[in-house]
Structure 1
Amino acid sequence: MTTYHVWIDTADDGQPAAQGDISADVVALDWRLGMARAYENISAPASARVTVRNWGGAHSPERGTLERGQFLRITSTDGATSRTHFSGFIERVEPTAGEGGERLAHIIAHGADAGLRAQSVSLPPLLDVTADAVIAAVLAACRWRLYPSAPYCLIDVDGRSTIDASTVYGEDGIERDLQGGISRFAYVGDTWRDGVPAWSAISEAVNSERGRFFIDRDGRAVFHNRHHTMTEPTVSATLTDDMHDLRYVYGDAISNEVTVNVRPRRVGLPDDIVWTLASPQRIPAGRVQTLRAIYHRADGQPTGALDVAHPLPYTHYSATQTAHPASADRTIALEITMQASAANATLRIRNTGTSDVYLQELTLRGTPLQSGDPVALILSDAVGIALYGLRPSRVDLPQVSSVEEAERIGLYELNRRKQPRGRVVAVTLWTASHPAALDIVLFDRVRIEEAQTGHAAEYLVIGEAHTVQRGGTRHHIEWTLEPADDDVYFVVDRADIGGDRLILPF
């Protein structure tokens, strides 16, 4: 029999302990990982909901030890195999009120991707890079919940300000498994104006690569390049007319005209003006003011920039004693430091003097990286349109500047979806009859055979949703599925030469 365990790291030390095991109080478990629909490149938010008995109030945060941000893990074991199903952090706790009521508490946890959706990033110019390098740079630029935090010194936190007994600086970050990308992007980050959500920055890279990004069961950030699913042929499970439920549809995912949008870039001349201060600014004595300079051309149009020079007194900026530009010069009182990204610069302006000064002029100079007019490539299957009607789709490639590569990506999308076919959208199982399903993880391959529809094909498990009830005796799994692409394209050692399969265009 499979037993389930829920552990909450109330000590925040990363070491499983009996006091954090709340399994005995668990009434129900629900969790979800992976993509919401077929052909999506980036996963939906990972989440879990743990319902527990709260008779004594131990799971009410104001009475017990539960706290937002604590690490939560769901595992199971059947005596022979132990497996992790979900790893994340408590987002909130919802205890029911009333001592005479049902006295339950709902513990809501989110995956590490919640941190990516909550913050904005700007990056230095990334030149000639692959998607995995972009993702790594975005992850490094994010501010993460420090876990475990117990070994580290936290100033002004009771019991944690022990510099002589603790590690002063922790390594903030997220575990990752990033496969090398195929496409190379000439310029990245130059269109992110005032910064973009970290999740959007990653999404741009993943969509432009046509790869996949998701949070796995261990809470790691995982990236697969676009060839991954076609080079992993092992079928992990076969289901033949023994599913609890199956959702099948024919012809819904067809696309016989693909519009691919790209934005070419052009590099300007070096030492050009990429930003100027619009009006004088008062800098109070002894204070530091922070400005975000969003690069723009002389005509006001946005631009990216390379090699932005650090501002120097009199060369790039000047200051006076009063707001009048002809008043006494006070430039020497200002110290300016700059952190430049590809689309903007953060300027810290410090007044070292004993009286207020007015920053009259400030200019940033560098090499403009200008976005050209958008280019839309349209690729069509004329025969398919004549037979099945027009079914258009759009692919945005924000980090691809090569029209040639954009065309190859468009052909890939057109070829794999131009013909109508039947597909299984999702399948549901009970683990009582399919215990091996517990070991199927995201992007494992399964084969589905169903007699009533006459359908038989291989699929990728791109999403998994679980519900556990009745002390673990009822475990319901729903897999979100996507057709495996290797039935469209020729793969060496797995298809005969001369068949109807296509050569991969990239």
Structure 2
Amino acid sequence: MPKPTWEIAIDFEQDNEFSGADLITEDVLSCTWSLGFAGPYEPVAKDSQLTLTLRNTDKRYSPEYSRSPFYPNFTHGRLVRVRSTYNSVTRQHFIGWIDSIDPTPGKYGARQTVVRASGFLLKAQDYEAFVPVQEGKTADQVIDAVLRRAAVFPPGFFGRWTLGVATKGELGQNTTLGEITDYLQAETGISTFSIIGDQWSDGVTVYGALRDAVGREGGRLFVDRQGKIIFWNRNHLPLTTTVQATFDNAMTQVEYEFGDLFINKATVRARPRAVGTSNETLGVLNKATKIPAGESKEISFRYADTVNSGATVAGKNAVAPVQTTDFTANSMEDGSGTNYTSSVTAAIVEESGTRCKVRYTNAAGVDVWLQPGAVIRGIKITDFGEVDTERENSMSVLKFGLRPYTYPFVLDSVAEADNLAAFLLQNRQGPRGRVKALELAAYSSDALLSQALARTIGDRIVVIEEQTDINAAYFIIGESHRLTPNGDYRVVWQLEPAAVSSYWIFATAGYGEVGETTILA
């Protein structure tokens, strides 16, 4: 049986070519990679990961060896790509950045180098999201707003002009202007959030903001084989009914569990809020701050309830501070001396739901002190606290004991929370077995190899396993691949059960006929 041609490459020169000396397949002893979700119903996938073991007998993969043909370009941040060609079809399987290089020390040792690479979602946990409060927006619009303000991009976004980024911002060399659609494919969200972002406190990361938006929608977000960000709304999987393949006792290993997803009590939290109609004080400067002559000073105001003991509040539409009304400035720290308020101007630099950064510029020829009590005003968002909604199957509790589940995201309204609790209870009631994961020995047959290479996240398959009497549909939610030194190729798929019921989905042909399918999704 013919085998695929594998192509493993490192973009040493950062020229986006992946050609010539970049092709290192012959030096690869083993290669493993994975992408997708850690488990069923997770809103955001785990980060993509790759591990390469390279032959290093001539030290070319020792990053500090100056006579290596790759020196000094074998280093962190270089892109690694894995592709295969089989039956004239070329597929990309992984792309990510190198984040560790570990040559094995010892002249008479193994003389190998282990390279590890990762993708966007790990980096997104290191970058802060600074996004204004979003009102009346769907999840895809919120994701768009977060990513447009983020200083981090997925690995599939390359070959585009990026301001201020080395090798991507040279005028005349990298001049194709990138668009967000180059690295984000997003379906329109089903829910419209009345307010989102007001709970994103200082330090919320890009990852955290994305996870909140996707979780409140009940959708999915992951990075695909091409290194692009994919967002599905909550109807995507229920509407995916085409079976791509059936595996009838063709697996080398199956991970099975009975009843682990079963619940008989669902709790969903809601957080009702009210938006003010006029400007109020959102933050106050507590200490005099020096602004040197002819210079500017940026001050970050954390929003707090100035009436109720400084409790954290949210706000929006901050107003640029007005001289005298919102701040004063004097020549002396204690407020004495000459009043220079008219020489200081203020402008808003950035605003999020919980803070605002203001730049004060001193046009005077002397140093001035911005006085305590300077304020930032805007529209206050009042939080009425969390409310729990619960749905319970009392007969199931009597029969099996309590199996509670609390949805990890907070919705806007009690009505939405109650609907979701009812849906969760319906979809996961009653203990039943499921295949959690399966492994294929891909080189066992041409048919298995073709499926191992082609099937990916979101594909619907049927699994038949005789010993457990499983015959059910599943979605692939995660994929792991392993090329071993002996030439073997194994694939493991993480699986999520396809819904056992058809759902009523408003205004969707085949799913919206009243009286025929009546479970509200």
User: Is TM (by shorter chain) over 0.5?
Assistant: yes
* Cα distance between partner residues in 2 of 1:162 and 1:406: 50
Displacement of 1:39 after TM fit? 2.0
* Cα distance between partner residues in 1 of 2:412 and 2:504: 27
Tell me the equivalent position of 1:141. Answer: 149
Question: Is the CA contact 2:135–2:194 (under 8 Å) kept in the aligned structure 1?
Answer: yes
Tell me the equivalent position of 1:452. Answer: 467
Tell me the equivalent position of 1:2. Answer: 4
Displacement of 1:259 after TM fit? 0.9
| Residues 416 and 410 of structure 1: CA distance in aligned 2, closer, same or farther (over 3 Å) | same
Equivalent residues, number:
499
Among 213, 217, 229, the residue aligned to 2:225: 217
Among 27, 30, 33, the residue aligned to 1:31: 33
Question: Is the CA contact 1:262–1:396 (under 8 Å) kept in the aligned structure 2?
Answer: no
Among 273, 276, 281, the residue aligned to 2:289: 281
Q: Per-residue displacement from partner, 1:334-370 (whole Å, max 9, x unpaired)?
A: 3322122222111223333343211014211111011
| Structure 1: runs of 5+ lacking an equivalent | none
| Residues 24 and 166 of structure 1: CA distance in aligned 2, closer, same or farther (over 3 Å) | same
Tell me the equivalent position of 1:92. Answer: 100
Question: Is the CA contact 2:215–2:409 (under 8 Å) kept in the aligned structure 1?
Answer: yes
The answer on 1:362 being equivalent to 2:364 is: no
Tell me the equivalent position of 1:41. Answer: 43
Displacement of 1:121 after TM fit? 0.7
* Cα distance between partner residues in 2 of 1:160 and 1:242: 47
Tell me the equivalent position of 2:364. Answer: 353
Displacement of 1:465 after TM fit? 1.0
Alignment of 1:328-407 (within 5 A): 328-338=338-348, 339-360=350-371, 361-398=373-410, 400-407=411-418
SS at match of 2:189: coil
Question: Is the CA contact 1:13–1:151 (under 8 Å) kept in the aligned structure 2?
Answer: no
More divergent stretch after superposition (287-296 vs 421-430) = 287-296
Question: Is the CA contact 2:159–2:176 (under 8 Å) kept in the aligned structure 1?
Answer: no
Displacement of 1:148 after TM fit? 4.0
More divergent stretch after superposition (111-120 vs 486-495) = 486-495
Letter in 2 for 1:303: V
* Cα distance between partner residues in 2 of 1:192 and 1:161: 31
Alignment of 1:11-160 (within 5 A): 11-63=13-65, 64=71, 65-144=73-152, 148=158
SS at match of 2:374: strand
Letter in 1 for 2:390: I
Question: Is the CA contact 2:504–2:520 (under 8 Å) kept in the aligned structure 1?
Answer: no
Displacement of 1:415 after TM fit? 0.8
* Cα distance between partner residues in 1 of 2:305 and 2:325: 19
* Cα distance between partner residues in 2 of 1:382 and 1:304: 39
Letter in 1 for 2:494: T
Tell me the equivalent position of 1:475. Answer: 489
* Cα distance between partner residues in 2 of 1:161 and 1:41: 34
Displacement of 1:489 after TM fit? 3.8
Q: Per-residue displacement from partner, 1:382-426 (whole Å, max 9, x unpaired)?
A: 12111111000101333x312111111111111111111111111
More divergent stretch after superposition (309-318 vs 208-217) = 309-318
| Residues 420 and 160 of structure 1: CA distance in aligned 2, closer, same or farther (over 3 Å) | closer
Question: Is the CA contact 1:144–1:172 (under 8 Å) kept in the aligned structure 2?
Answer: no
Question: Is the CA contact 1:127–1:186 (under 8 Å) kept in the aligned structure 2?
Answer: yes
* Cα distance between partner residues in 1 of 2:401 and 2:318: 51
| Residues 66 and 79 of structure 1: CA distance in aligned 2, closer, same or farther (over 3 Å) | farther
Displacement of 1:58 after TM fit? 1.7
Tell me the equivalent position of 2:426. Answer: 415
SS at match of 2:141: helix
Tell me the equivalent position of 2:187. Answer: 179
Displacement of 1:79 after TM fit? 4.0
* Cα distance between partner residues in 2 of 1:449 and 1:395: 31
Question: Is the CA contact 2:76–2:99 (under 8 Å) kept in the aligned structure 1?
Answer: yes
Displacement of 1:160 after TM fit? 9.4
* Cα distance between partner residues in 2 of 1:118 and 1:161: 22
Tell me the equivalent position of 1:312. Answer: 322
Question: Is the CA contact 2:160–2:175 (under 8 Å) kept in the aligned structure 1?
Answer: no
Tell me the equivalent position of 1:234. Answer: 242
Q: Per-residue displacement from partner, 1:193-250 (whole Å, max 9, x unpaired)?
A: 2141111111111111111111111111111111111111111111111210101111
* Cα distance between partner residues in 2 of 1:41 and 1:148: 26
| Structure 2: runs of 5+ lacking an equivalent | 66-70
Displacement of 1:172 after TM fit? 8.3
Displacement of 1:504 after TM fit? 3.2
* Cα distance between partner residues in 2 of 1:152 and 1:188: 28
* Cα distance between partner residues in 1 of 2:224 and 2:178: 21
Question: Is the CA contact 1:210–1:226 (under 8 Å) kept in the aligned structure 2?
Answer: yes
Q: Per-residue displacement from partner, 1:159-195 (whole Å, max 9, x unpaired)?
A: 99965x4457964866011111101101111111214
Displacement of 1:274 after TM fit? 1.1
Tell me the equivalent position of 1:265. Answer: 273
Q: Per-residue displacement from partner, 1:229-281 (whole Å, max 9, x unpaired)?
A: 11111111111112101011111111110111111111124121111111222
SS at match of 2:278: coil
| Residues 305 and 9 of structure 1: CA distance in aligned 2, closer, same or farther (over 3 Å) | same
TM-align CA RMSD: 2.5
More divergent stretch after superposition (175-184 vs 138-147) = 138-147
Letter in 2 for 1:57: K
Question: Is the CA contact 1:143–1:172 (under 8 Å) kept in the aligned structure 2?
Answer: no
Displacement of 1:17 after TM fit? 1.5
Letter in 1 for 2:83: T
Displacement of 1:152 after TM fit? 7.2
* Cα distance between partner residues in 2 of 1:494 and 1:172: 34
Q: Per-residue displacement from partner, 1:450-498 (whole Å, max 9, x unpaired)?
A: 1111111000011111111136x31111111110015364687599998
Letter in 1 for 2:385: D
Tell me the equivalent position of 2:259. Answer: 251
Displacement of 1:315 after TM fit? 2.2
* Cα distance between partner residues in 1 of 2:503 and 2:361: 60
Question: Is the CA contact 1:153–1:168 (under 8 Å) kept in the aligned structure 2?
Answer: no
| Residues 153 and 382 of structure 1: CA distance in aligned 2, closer, same or farther (over 3 Å) | closer
